[in-house]
Chain A
Amino acid sequence: MKLFIVIAAYNEEKSILKVISDLKKAGYKNIVVVDDGSKDNTYTVLKKSGVHLLHHIINRGQGAALKTGIDYALMNGADIIVTFDADGQHRVEDIPAMTNPIITKECDATIGSRFLKKTKMPLLRKITLKIGVIIMWLFYGVKMTDAHNGFRAFSREAAKKINITSDRMEHASQIIEEIYRKKIKYKEIPVIIRYTDYSMEKGHGGIRQACSVFGRMFLRKLLR
């Protein structure tokens, strides 16, 4: 089975090489990194890393970068696609747990959940994520423990069905919505998220961002 790891990277020169080296050490060969118009040297440091390197000439957002990487993986015959963070939050050792249910055809998509295992995380982030879970339940009737986890795995069929049109951070909710609407069989997998000073500095999941995600979700719902 051809497995592709897709990573969206924006200003990740400090962490990306370590993430790639960990993935390579674990034996993952098909690593697709989409440099999303980084302002730092992310693209330059990746040039000699031996990954499938794609470059967005301007920043289009994490959702757009992931979609580019997924399209590329599909074009190159991927059977399973794993989306992985560039800031070192995800653990390579959790990948088999994410892909096994797809290999055994138990389901077509797996979503990582940081609430199924004990993970130390800042209280504010915990509250924001839980509000996200409630919103997903209210909007789509999907009951998940962690609706905004970037650690996911898809079978080829599921990846083809999921259409990500949200360029920015709201792609996470859109993926869940697509899974629900297209009746893709999914499973939540317990994963551990490493909250480091670096990842916290990157600032994913702040209240401001959560409000923006919610606003866009609402408008998307209105437009449909």
Chain B
Amino acid sequence: MITIIQVLMILFALFAWSRAALRLKDKSIRITEFIFWSVLWASLITFSVSPALLQFLSSVLGIQRATDLAVYVSIIVLFYLMFRIYVKVDKQGQEITQVVRNVALKNNLYVKKKNKK
């Protein structure tokens, strides 16, 4: 018997997966990123369809409750994603600074005044 939460999780995973596919199609993400998201959403669908599999996996890993394993994995994935976002934001910040710097060096008043003379 499939529960409502299982249906909702499958639908959400399918929706999120389709978004990732669209991002890949318009080349916003790389193939490696698409694979990462595919593994994540495919796992969610698999465990939603068959919770027994999650139960089996958790017992193999020495965790009593399947939900505990899901929570642990979620936290790890979230931390990893946060780290990736930090790296990306930091890189973008550096790029913005470089643009601002180039504009400043190009438009400095001292050289402009000198050239006028």
**B-binding residues in A (CB < 8 A):** 34, 37, 47, 51-58, 60-61, 64, 67-68, 71-72, 75, 165, 167, 219, 223
Contacts and interface: CB of A to CB of B under 8 A. Distances in A.
A223 B89 CA distance: 13
Contacts of B108: 52-55, 72
Contacts of A219: 86, 90
B75 to A, nearest CB: 18
Contacts of A57: 100, 103-104
Given A219-B86, A223-B87, A64 B100 contact: yes
Contact of B104 (A34, A51, A167): A34
Nearest to B86: A219
26 contacts: A34-B104, A37-B100, A51-B110, A52-B108, A52-B109, A52-B110, A54-B105, A54-B108, A55-B108, A56-B101, A57-B103, A58-B100, A60-B96, A60-B97, A60-B100, A60-B101, A61-B97, A64-B97, A67-B97, A68-B104, A71-B105, A75-B105, A165-B94, A167-B93, A167-B94, A223-B87
A60 B97 CA distance: 6
A165 B91 CA distance: 10
B116 to A, nearest CB: 14
A54 B108 CA distance: 5
